[in-house]
Copies of this chain bind each other. A is one copy, B any other.
């Protein structure tokens, strides 16, 4: 079994590393805080005697390849980058549990018949550089490495330069390691497992994700002298778009919609905004419905164009819904049953690295409950017992697929 105390202690230690001045966890991809987290992780990988490999997109692999063992590895992992003001579980839990599984097998003197690998993928969150799940997307061949490295972030930097700066621009070609199977353990980040009192989720699919940046151009003018009928207020047009997307998501089965970022130009109290720039995150487990949400947004924006606004959209990410490997989902269920943990099959609302890796290898995910369904928030919490249970299910599945 997993060394529970060590797993929990490492989760806390990693969560305390690289906080900002305000004490917030902002381990944004390729930032100084990310470097601090990576350094800590690499120390633990080394302690476990793993071979560390870093690829050109900064993915970190810790490889356990006992003498005489070869072949495609059984891979576990997730990411250690975070959103702004994050919780400590999202991503880190999957990486540290993967390491804990390898250590448990070493400790028990178990000899796998293929290598085991734990991976921390770069920039899963996509907060600074879009798209999200970038490291795993590149590793799966869905985005050329050099194109990804050249992506410009919200702060004008490029991922390539920042990876170089923090010392994690590795030399291995992404994709150098072909998984035999990939299993990702993660907190649910949603309310379902808690609400239904089930400790384990066997994730059989993951919803589609559509990210766009929308820019609405209106006309700056004086807030006091410009009659309402003569305005082309980009801020009001943006507000109407937000309200529309919210209503649309409420009216569309399975849909969610979020505008997480916004900016007005020139952003002065007595100047009608000349432009409004915001991001749109649309999701749906059903590809046709997701397309429907995108079309409805386009139609709404066309309406604004016909009112005289200049509207442009930029695609930041687009991933279709995926279905995970049934044999791994079944193995998760079997492990949970053996350990007398209630388990349900479910859909993932969040994007995950497994969603990319399933393009090149059988992959699936294990979920554990998130208190109140809260994530991307410092109040994110999963009970210790649930964390340990999930890690032990990962151990069972990893043993099975490394035999």
Contact = CB atoms under 8 A, between A and B. Distances in A.
Interface of A: 83-85, 125-127, 130, 132, 188-191, 207, 209, 211, 219-230, 233, 235-236, 238-243, 246, 249-250, 255-264, 266-274, 279, 281, 283, 316, 348-351, 370, 373-377
Contact of A261 (B224, B256, B268): B268
A269 B224 contact: no
A238 B225 CA distance: 24
A268 B373 contact: no
A269 B211 contact: yes
Judged by DSSP, the binding face of A is loop
B209 A228 contact: no
5 contacts: A126-B269, A191-B225, A219-B374, A233-B258, A235-B262
A256 B242 contact: no
A377 B257 CA distance: 34
B270 A224 contact: no
Contact of A256 (B190, B226, B274, B350): B226
A223 B259 CA distance: 9
Given A268-B84, A270-B83, A235 B242 contact: yes
Contacts of A238: 239
B225 A190 contact: yes
- Greatest chain B CB density within 10 A among A132, A274, A281, A283 is at A281
A274 to B, nearest CB: 7
A198 B30 CA distance: 61
A263 B278 CA distance: 11
Contacts of A260: 223, 235, 264, 267-273
